[in-house]
Chain A
Amino acid sequence: MRPDLSVLLLTTLIGAGQGLYLALVTVQVYALFGLLPAQDGRAFFAPGSAIALVLLVTGLAASFFHLGRPERAWRSAAKWRTSWLSREVIVLPAFIGLVFVSGVAHFLHYGPVLAELPSGIPVDATVVLGLVGTVLAFALFLCTGMIYASLPFLREWASPFTVVNFTLMGGASGFTLAAAFSVWTAPSLTPFLAAWALILTLLAFAGRLASLVRNAKLRPKSTLQTAIGIKHPRIVQTSQGFLGGSFNTREFFHGRSRGFLRSIRWLFPVAAFAIPAALLAAFVAGAGAVLLPVAAVVQYAGLLAERWFFFAEANHPQNLYYQAIG
């Protein structure tokens, strides 16, 4: 498939935004139970939500570039019963709205206590918003992942790994970002966040490696034989019917050499997981906090590469029909 920059940005940015928001909620929940020092809404949660918001809105904005007719984007909520894309289109704004509201609530210190846990811990509005947000964030991971995972013939995508990895990678990049962010806003939380970031990065690493291994073992279900319905071991296309290219030769091919694809396959695990994990581990082991923003930047770049590869690697069966210029 052709990796379209708008989609690469969309999925990586909102993933990081979701992860970051989840990190904020995690901090809040830990704090609620007194496991972490409580943070000031205005100093920590509001700016954190703002960053998440920026990521989410930028991602959303990028997605418009993917549309031929962005002015009609509103129509895309119509088919939520059947279309994961439609669902994403509903959940993403909902999530953005929630992040906004929760950020504002934190900023305004608006926190009417809505309930009390049996242990007497008060649950205020921001906590409730955070929990709803968590549900939405996971729902969004599910939608985004399922957009790809639900296409059965894109076999590289059609696996639970897609949703799991989107979630893990979003979480990892969000937590790394949160760790970096905390260096300035809440240094006391940094080790905690960095540790989680490390764990998630390693999990994401594992998940992504597993999907690479899986995909490397995939045998195409569709072949030229099934594509044109002729049973013969040797079938070669000599003409796809036109020479100058078409939508079908642009949209479904990455347009780069095999060598390039191979090098990205080596590069992205290093950039998205190995280096950030090493930097995070180094920090956890006591190295300087300056490593964390570096880790966040490297990881994000690595995830862009990962997403590029995610698309490029996916071999659409339609390509069987578009193999020869002649």
Chain B
Amino acid sequence: MATTPIHDPTAPPLPGATTETRNTTCYMCACRCGIRVHLRNGEVRFIEGNPDHPLNQGVLCAKGSSGIMKQYSPARLTRPLMRKPGTERGAGEFVEVSWEQAFSMLEERLAKIRATDPKRFALFTGRDQMQALTGLFARQFGTPNYAAHGGFCSVNMAAGMIYTIGGSFWEFGGPDLDRARLFVMIGTAEDHHSNPLKIAISKFKRAGGRFISINPVRSGYSAIADEWLPIRPGTDGALLLALIHELIALGLYDREFLVRYTNAGELVNIDEAHDDFGMFVRSSVPDEEECFDPQNKLWWDRRTNRAVVTHAENADPYLLGEFTLDDGMRVKPSFQLLKERVEAYTSEWAAGITGIPAETIRRLAHEMGITARDQKIELPIAWTDMWGKEHDTVTGNPVAFHAMRGLAAHSNGFHTIRALAILMTVLGTIDRPGGFRHKAPFPRPIPPCAKTPNTPLAIQPNHPLDGLALGWPAAPDDLFVNDDGTPVRIDKAFSWEYPLAVHGMMHNVITNAWRGDPYPIDTLLIFMANMAWNSTMSVGDVRRMLNDKREDGEYRIPFLVVCDAFQSEMTAFADLVLPDTTYLERHDVMSMLDRPISEFDGPVDAVRIPVVPPTGQCKPFQEVLIELAGRLKLPAFVRKDGSRKFRDYPDFIVNYETEPGSGIGFLAGWRGKGGEKFMRGEPNPRQWEMYAQNNCVYHYRLPPSYQYMRNWNRGYLEWSQRVRIQRYAEPILIHVYSEVLQKFRRAAQGKGTSRRPPEHLRQRIETYFDPLPFYYEPLERQQSDLAKFPLAAVTQRPMAMYHSWDSQNAWLRQIHAHNHLYVNPQVARAAGIEDGGWMWVESPWGKVRCMCSYSEAVEPGTVWTWNAIGKAPGAWRLAPDANESRLGFLLNHLIADELPAAGGRISNSDPVTGQAAWYDVRVRICKADDSDPKETWPRFDAVPAAPGTAQSTPAWLSWFAGRGMRR
């Protein structure tokens, strides 16, 4: 065997090549891992995880490892494009224009809108992470019509938890798997925090932790769970409420935690006739409630057997019982109300709804309760609470949860998620070791202080919007509605239809703008969202709306601008296409003003620094906004004399301050003249350099005593106040009972002095603004004929694909070239459908032909497929016969964006938050006819290659960095 090889496997593959390594931040997805990009002769040779980065600690996912094929993809847009005059939207016919032409076109149009009616300009952005800048631009422009993708993504998760515990999963907080002993993951397939979660789950399992997954499907993470609990979609609320029932019934709740850190002991007025029915009783009413919970509520003290102000020295409240105040008012601690609420939610009841046996539910509750109580963690970390009590230790109950869109993407998700947050609270696991931990800037007051304006007067020509486009309503008076109660925003967020639509409702924009309800708009700018395809419901209708004209021949949405990096399905509908750079070509910030990448132990922000020059004429959208803002003379971007304030985006990032002299800007690290300050401090001209020298990341580690119990931790709250993370240093008591919701219900009941909902929404508000979590069937299910449409249809994120982004990626698309519908074999066989056979899936709203795959890893009442694998022919520079369009399909064709409702139609969304209800759809399946074509349906016409993309695609390719692409 020992003949010497000719090919020396360890010799340098390209002798004499120049090599270098640069750090930046990945953006093949929103996780934003630190990466080291190796270049050879200026070409990307290898992208690896940066081992010195706190987020991914050196690891990288399948997408991140395929960045090369994204960078050199033939689908890259490289020139600004204008729809070819005389051609239809959607046909994808374009002519090239110069940036100057594009800018002047936009400047002229937008200046006119701004000078007349700024709300006729709408800016909506998809899976971006630069909402601080896009939001600033929109606000400065003066339009309320701005939001990012949150409304169609997971706003239920954000709102449900932030309105309960002041923080959430997602980028805002997460399970402390380092110390947890039991980990319960619900409705999660991949999540935003992809790599860190994987790192953590594996460590957790190796340390002998017990991992339970609750999900109709057993894929990905659920695969390695110790126990899989298949649940019927949309029914988790029932399960969670039954768990709470069981824990309370057995006394497995953490009483001390509930007493001191939540509103469980606070007394609620239960006198139905009273105007304040359902409100907490207050010891005194301050003139103006600021945006924090004043500590003026009452407890019923066990020792003195009388009402006292909460947290009074030596007082210990009853959590249960009914009491009468001196003035005769009947009150109950809110925990008593919770107990009464869950009384009927027995395990047997939940079993019938969820499909999980009652015995299992009880055991689950027992496991949680016993693990929490008997495996208590005590860390020798002293801290002081907001009431001045000093604690020698930080304690924790090591039961951790994580949940995502399996809960969020249902129209009952808000209450389900509140139930989850309350379950976590009852177990005493909030911001404690082994439980849930916050990430800066969370926790925030409940709700956070940011507010939208509450009147249309906030919109004035040539003026910035007087308030934020997105905020956190605390009461009906915070709603952004006209005097008659109708919505101000094009998406109807913050209206009586969706009062807590805190992330906006991007999924409503096209339909509403098309219908002119509440009003027509002029220009719609879409950034990084594929609204003509996978982020839209009723895909076919939306594509028609984008292309639909008024009687006078003008498009109903007159001007559509799309900024994308690739030729997507959406770009085909644009009047103007702005070619963005890739993440390897631009500056970017993961800012504390936005959604940073903080860790449990303190705030973290990060930057992206270009590692290769822009391709063609690609221009970062950041630069586009800075340029446009200068041209439109938006106040924050120009000096008094009207001249441009910022040279470019990097200059803007360094020098922009939220207010002159505030010392708060986009980046928290290396502030101050010489980089000696953090969080606040004067602009530092060398800030980018300092980030570059430090792995592109700034990580502030809090002292251990500030790392836990942050809702009530004096040290932490005062620190966060000093560094201006928050305005107040006030305790953030957990809202077991939500007075905020009660305020809306009260308005619907005609009590109090606030605004009242319009008549047709009165009942809706009264029902869904329940101060305690409750279970109701998802709205679509309530309306569906379950005998006719017996199955739930959901999607999962494939770990190796990001939404629609990666079909242009030659490596990733080999892993998911097309998709099948996974069906439990019993169900498929009953319908006569073979494994691998063709089938129809039909919902009340549409139908799809696709291929079936048998799977024993799916609950029989559910069918599922990978999200966003199916593509329209020609998009993404795929050949018209590419698998994606021929064999792949999009489940979205089955999902309706609106449901029939009393007042006509209503968005298919959660009635509290406006969260798009992707996973509510009901379907039935049947075998496709043998004579049917063996390809998916519906089909669309192929679009041609846009100018600037590769005009032909190769029969083969091979990449060898330094020698380029051979084909």
Contact = CB atoms under 8 A, between A and B. Distances in A.
Q: Do A and B bind each other?
A: yes
Interface stretch (A170-178, A208-216, A241-249, A309-317): A241-249
B429 interface: no
6 contacts: A236-B854, A243-B816, A243-B817, A243-B818, A244-B817, A326-B853
Contacts, number: 24
Interface residues of B, number: 15
A238 B816 contact: no
Interface in A294-326: 324-326
Interface in B835-892: 836, 853-857, 883
Contact of A326 (B3, B820, B856, B883): B820
Given A238-B853, A326-B820, A243 B3 contact: no
A242 B812 CA distance: 9
Given A78-B3, A326-B820, A244 B814 contact: yes
Closest 5 CB pairs of A and B: A243-B817, A244-B817, A242-B814, A326-B853, A326-B820
Nearest to A81: B1
Contacts of B814: 242-244
B853 A243 contact: no
A238 B3 CA distance: 42
B14 interface: no
Contacts of B965: none
A86 B817 CA distance: 40
B815 interface: yes
Contacts of A244: 814, 817, 883
Interface string B1-33: 001000000000000000000000000000000
Contacts of A243: 814-818, 883
Contact of B815 (A78, A242, A324): A242
Interface residues of A, number: 10
Given A242-B814, A244-B883, 5 more contacts: A78-B3, A242-B817, A243-B818, A244-B814, A244-B817
A323 B814 CA distance: 16
A40 to B, nearest CB: 49
Interface in B598-645: none
A313 B723 CA distance: 74
Interface in A124-176: none
Interface in A233-281: 236, 238, 241-244
A241 B817 CA distance: 11
Contacts of A241: 815
Contacts of B836: 325
Nearest to B855: A238
B947 to A, nearest CB: 29
B65 to A, nearest CB: 15
A68 to B, nearest CB: 14
Interface string B781-815: 00000000000000000000000000000000011
B534 to A, nearest CB: 18
Interface in B751-806: none
A236 B856 CA distance: 9
Contacts of B854: 236
Nearest to B853: A326
A326 B853 CA distance: 8
Contacts of B816: 243
A230 to B, nearest CB: 13
Interface centre among A78, A236, A242, A326 (most CB of B within 10 A): A326
Nearest to B813: A244
Nearest to A75: B6
A194 to B, nearest CB: 49
A241 B800 CA distance: 11
B810 to A, nearest CB: 11
Contacts of A238: 822, 853, 855, 857
Contacts of A326: 820, 853
A78 to B, nearest CB: 7
A324 B835 CA distance: 10
Nearest to B884: A243
A246 B857 CA distance: 26
Interface centre among A238, A243, A324, A325 (most CB of B within 10 A): A243
A78 B817 CA distance: 42
Contacts of B853: 238, 324, 326
B76 to A, nearest CB: 22
B242 to A, nearest CB: 32
A78 B816 CA distance: 42
B457 to A, nearest CB: 56
Contacts of B855: 238
Contacts of A325: 836
Contacts of B883: 243-244
A241 B814 CA distance: 9
A116 to B, nearest CB: 46
A326 B866 CA distance: 10
A232 to B, nearest CB: 12
Nearest to B219: A238
Interface string B677-715: 000000000000000000000000000000000000000
Interface in B471-513: none
Interface in A185-244: 236, 238, 241-244
Nearest to A234: B856
Nearest to A244: B817
Contacts of B3: 78
Nearest to B857: A238
Nearest to A82: B1
Interface in B812-832: 814-818, 820, 822
Contacts of A324: 853
Nearest to A243: B817
A324 B857 CA distance: 15
Contacts of A242: 814-815, 817
A236 B814 CA distance: 21
A326 B855 CA distance: 11
A241 B857 CA distance: 17
B225 to A, nearest CB: 17
A72 to B, nearest CB: 11
Interface in B417-458: none
A176 to B, nearest CB: 43
Interface in B165-217: none
A78 B4 CA distance: 12
Nearest to B887: A243
B837 to A, nearest CB: 13
A197 to B, nearest CB: 44
A236 B822 CA distance: 14
Contacts of B818: 243
Contacts of B857: 238
A238 B853 CA distance: 8
B59 to A, nearest CB: 20
A100 B301 CA distance: 113
B713 to A, nearest CB: 47
Interface string B399-414: 0000000000000000
A238 B822 CA distance: 10
A241 to B, nearest CB: 7
B857 to A, nearest CB: 8
A243 B818 CA distance: 7
A34 B578 CA distance: 94
Residue of B3, B817, B857 with most chain A CB atoms under a 10 A cut-off: B817
Nearest to B882: A244
Nearest to B820: A326
A35 B347 CA distance: 98
A324 B820 CA distance: 11
A197 B820 CA distance: 55
A27 B223 CA distance: 70
Contacts of B817: 242-244
A64 to B, nearest CB: 21
A241 B62 CA distance: 13
A78 B814 CA distance: 37
A242 B818 CA distance: 10
A241 B815 CA distance: 6
A182 B632 CA distance: 98
Contacts of A78: 3
